[in-house]
Chain A
Amino acid sequence: MMLARVSLRNLLRHPWQSILSMVGIALGVAVVIAIDLTNDSARRAFKLSNEMVAGQATHHIIGGPAGLDETLYRDLRVEHGLRQLWPVVEGTVRLVAHDAERLSVIGIDPLAQTDNSAIYRATRDLSATELLSTDNAALLTDATARRLGLAIPGELKVRGAGGLHRLRVTAAGKPGSALEEQALRAVVLTDIATAQVVTGRLGRLTRIDLELAGPEAVARVRRLLPPEAELAGSASRGNALRQMTRAFEINLTALSLLALVVGMFLIYNTMTVSVLQRHAQIATLRTLGVGDRELFLAVGGEALALGVLGVLAGIALGISLSHQLLGLVAQTINDLYFRLDVQKVSISALSLAKGVALGIGATVLAALAPALEASRVPPQITYTRSGQESAARSSVGRLARWALAPSAAAAVLLALPGGNLYAGFAGLFFAIFGFALLAPALLLLIVRITHRGLSRALGLIGRMAGRGVTESLSRTRVTVAALAVAVSATVGVGIMITSFRATVEHWLVNYLRADLYVSASGGAGNVDPGVIRRVAALPEVASITTARWTKLDGAAGRTQLFVLDADAAAFANFQFKHGDAAGAWPRFKSGEAVIVSEPYAYHNRRGVGDTVVLRTDSGTREFAIAGVFYDYGSDRGVVALHRDTYQRHWADAAISSFAVYLDPGVDAERFAAALERDVLAGSGLTLRSNRQLRALSMDIFDRTFAVTQVLRVLTVVIAVIGIFSALMSIQLERGREFAVLRANGFTPRQLWALVTTETGLLGLAAGVLALPLGLFLALALIFIINQRSFGWTMQVWLTPEHFVLGLALAVGAGLLAGLYPALRLARTPPSFALRHE
């Protein structure tokens, strides 16, 4: 096919333009694939760890915060004859060595364990008596033992409830598959009794797994359960936990799609400029009898070729990038949601297929308009560039009117009641599209405004640069719109992160009022009440508040409880969105009411005056909501209740942390050093000053947004690459025009100044346009996307840095893109350029 050859050679004739567009799509696809693979790997790791012990269990029995009484297991097995059930104790400990790495402790009954579970498969070659015959016996996988440098048999020192524990690792098992190996990487397996000791759950079980056949069996077990226990389907726990990370995943996916949209704009830009530049050639082809459909396919084919190559490169890059992102995403899940050990990226064919489909789809979509443009080129023998430019100028008003439709769609989607997150993202993308249509009109306005200044500052070159932009509107409008969109994305995300960070920082200052905070290390650790009494007795201590963080799992999901033993003054540290401290305190203290965090109220559609239903040890109970408070510690939300209320309804006296308020004038640092030395030494408790705790919180915040920052930088890279390519090609196209200037006495230096002023002006225009769009994106992210994802209220925090950076980025990209053509054109003898045009 000769036409295909024409297309292919056209791509090869402009290798840098082709390669840069390809890189744009490759990076876009890489980001999408990397995020999908990372999310998928985290999901798989979660699923695997969830199934690890459950095996063939169809249901599980769960209790309150303190778990289940172990006698329930015995009763069900012995008294009621249930056979297919397996007790589990779960908790977390920290290794004494290896940077205090966290390990999950899973306690099982080796004699009852199902052979369908990964745990069993990993250890089935070992005798059940390995666990039962030795005190504090524990099993690891072979690989974990090697990783920890542990000889078998050997001793594993861990810090758990009550301090140091020595586990006797009697054997190491070999998991059945690499996935199981991964899931068991940070797991230590013990019998029930040992797990109860190291996690501080003496006489308690975390849950009982069961295999139940049919509704009758389910109903029978339900009848046998005490009020504090609940029977739930096995899938429900996983679903509830998965639900917690859903918004986080959606946000990452949307940001990765934003990178692809920027890549799409670049393909559109490249293809549009390429079609415009080949207008005369296309007209010749039309004259020779090439049909509109063939031209459409030829231009589409060119874009597709770039897209396919870009996608292939994007797959390789995406897989590589996912390895870098996995650590960041896993860290966030561990910081914010639940313990998850995920080390390896699972390369899923579905993720790759999604990336390929999105990459190709984006390319085809982006190439649609330029391909249509090519097919509509009339077969006129005489082609005039001025005609093309005049058509471009006359379309400015029409495009601005067309912008109304996507803008209206964006307004509707963003304002849609019900708060659908997907509709929010669709609204954002419509808004970007509408703005791109408006960009040519705004570009003309900016050039008109800057014209006089440029003319005064640079004389003839300034006037020519301004006119160069408007006289090449058919090309420059697309490039400026693409650059503006790309820069606005980084400005918008930047403002959103800064605002969020400032909001959290401000909240922490108000919320963390105590001088010192002491917490138990490890997830399972508790604070010894004796320690609290000793600290409270110290003369420098004005008051102490204790806190218990725990969760209630149920068929309907997980509820995070924050149990507070505080006085009215400490309670006043809560910042209320609805209700107030003075009004809520008496009801909170009396146990009549609880208060809920803003995300909890949002996700559960609850407010002041509504009730929260919680499963207590004596069955479900309704609590009135006395207030809704701001909280940025959990995106799923928490229910806060007074310690007295909690202990009335749940048999759990554990304390997770306590806060120390010192008398005025006491040197907090000196007191902390003494406290560490005299009271806390060897207790396994961690002491942090107010400043340290705030710094730690902000570290976690920054880690949470590390992935976002990576995506933001990648989006900028994609944009700069694409714009560089487009601006370069626009300038190189004007070789003859510049040769005429040189022939008429323009010096190479003047030419250099003209080209860079023009590309700089284009960059400036894009930068100026990017600022309002960036601000709009930021506001939409803050007030709509984050609200719909997490339910958080954020303060908008506008600092000049993002605007200055966005502007500098756009102008810098423009100037940089002008350098090469300016140098090349200035060095080319005018006679050569005139002869070869």
Chain B
Amino acid sequence: MADADPIIALSDVHKIYPDAQRERTVLRGINARFRSGEFVAILGRSGSGKSTLLNLLGGIDLPSRGDILFRGMNISTLDERRRTLFRREHIGFVFQFFNLIPTLTVFENLAFTLDLNGIDRARAQQRVAELLSQLGLSDRADAFPDRLSGGEQQRIAVARAVAHKPSLVLADEPTGNLDRDTEHQVLALLRAMPGRDYTTVIAATHSPEVASCADRILHLQDGALAEAAS
């Protein structure tokens, strides 16, 4: 596990879901530290708790026990509103099914998180234009998501996740819905995204391709996280 400069650290994190018959423990005493700028792949079977772990890291969900420290701030103790503001400012999400806002154009989808963060219009436009140019999708700026291919949608989703320069990008099966060629494009983008030097990427995946791009690989099994042998 990484030791120096953790941007986010988990300490004895448990996640237990109450069920009708019995409680279901998904995560059991997870301890992990993630450095600024590293690319980490989390591998595990379906239902192993990968998405749950990402939800906890992004402040979407709260651990049943344990602490999650983001730059020393325990996000598990924040109320709903402060966790929302935390996500808005520090986190970028990439989803398997892209989850672009269907009623906004490509340009507006990218400007969305900038707008939420109060970036003024001129700077936001400049940033979005820059991202689109790097993606080679400047000509699709005014298109709505349903006019894009799956690969284009996911590239826009990655760009949206980094548009506001978050400290942490959480990607849940980012290439799970893509063909091999498109997967390569998206992975290349995740690795080489603008300003990537300071952004930590944690990707939950089944894909060996994603894992092969990672600086570190963690295995989630039986609710416990283990570093893969390099």
Quick one: which of B132-188 are within 8 Å of A by CB? 146, 160, 172
Chain B, residues 97-119, CB within 8 Å of chain A (1/0): the string is 00101111000100111011100
Chain A, interface size category, equals 20 to 34
B112 touches A288 (CB 8 A): yes
B111 touches A2 (CB 8 A): yes
Nearest chain B CB to A294's CB is how many angstroms away?
A: 9
Since A287-B60, A287-B87, A288-B87 are in contact, a sample of 17 more A-B pairs with Cβ atoms closer than 8 Å, ordered by chain A residue number, is: A6-B103, A9-B103, A13-B102, A281-B99, A281-B102, A284-B101, A286-B60, A288-B93, A288-B113, A288-B160, A290-B116, A291-B81, A291-B85, A379-B87, A381-B51, A381-B60, A381-B93
Which residue, A287, A289, A292, A379, has most C-beta atoms of chain B within 10 A?
Answer: A289
**A281 with B80: in contact, given A2-B108, A5-B108 (CB under 8 Å)?**
no
- Taking the complex as formed, is B49 at the interface, i.e. its CB lies under 8 A from any CB of chain A? no
Question: What is the bound-complex CA distance between A110 and B170, given in angstroms?
Answer: 94
Nearest chain A CB to B197's CB is how many angstroms away?
A: 23
A2 touches B116 (CB 8 A): yes
Chain A, residues 1-44, CB within 8 Å of chain B (1/0): the string is 11101100110010000000000000000000000000000000
Nearest chain A CB to B159's CB is how many angstroms away?
A: 13
Question: What is the bound-complex CA distance between A379 and B81, given in angstroms?
Answer: 12
Question: What is the bound-complex CA distance between A353 and B95, given in angstroms?
Answer: 48
- Taking the complex as formed, is B64 at the interface, i.e. its CB lies under 8 A from any CB of chain A? no
Please list the residues of chain A having a beta carbon within 8 angstroms of any beta carbon in chain B.
1-3, 5-6, 9-10, 13, 280-281, 284-293, 378-382, 836
Our pick among B87, B93, B99, B111 for the contact of A280 (Cβ within 8 Å) is B99
Q: Which residues of A contact B146 (CB under 8 A)?
A: 836
B116 touches A289 (CB 8 A): yes
Chain B, interface size category, equals 20 to 34
Please list the residues of chain B having a beta carbon within 8 angstroms of any beta carbon in chain A.
51, 54-55, 58, 60-61, 80-81, 84-85, 87-89, 91, 93, 95, 99, 101-104, 108, 111-113, 115-117, 146, 160, 172
Nearest chain B CB to A85's CB is how many angstroms away?
A: 74
A6 touches B84 (CB 8 A): no
Q: Which residues of A contact B93 (CB under 8 A)?
A: 287-288, 381
Q: Is the interface of A mostly helix, strand, loop or mixed?
A: helix
Q: Which residues of A contact B95 (CB under 8 A)?
A: 284, 381
Q: Which residues of B contact A6 (CB under 8 A)?
A: 101, 103-104
A292 nearest in chain B by CB position = B80
Question: What is the bound-complex CA distance between A780 and B84, given in angstroms?
Answer: 50
19 A-B pairs with C-beta separation under 8 A: A1-B115, A2-B115, A5-B103, A5-B108, A6-B101, A6-B103, A284-B101, A287-B87, A287-B93, A287-B99, A288-B88, A288-B112, A288-B160, A289-B113, A291-B84, A293-B81, A380-B61, A381-B54, A382-B51
A284 touches B87 (CB 8 A): no
Q: Which residues of B contact A292 (CB under 8 A)?
A: 80-81, 84
A8 nearest in chain B by CB position = B103
Question: What is the bound-complex CA distance between A280 and B172, given in angstroms?
Answer: 15
Question: What is the bound-complex CA distance between A287 and B157, given in angstroms?
Answer: 13
B84 touches A289 (CB 8 A): yes
Q: Which residues of A contact B58 (CB under 8 A)?
A: 287
Question: What is the bound-complex CA distance between A2 and B89, given in angstroms?
Answer: 16
Q: Which residues of B contact A288 (CB under 8 A)?
A: 87-88, 93, 112-113, 116, 160
Nearest chain B CB to A233's CB is how many angstroms away?
A: 62
Nearest chain B CB to A291's CB is how many angstroms away?
A: 5
Q: Which residues of B contact A381 (CB under 8 A)?
A: 51, 54-55, 60, 93, 95, 99, 172
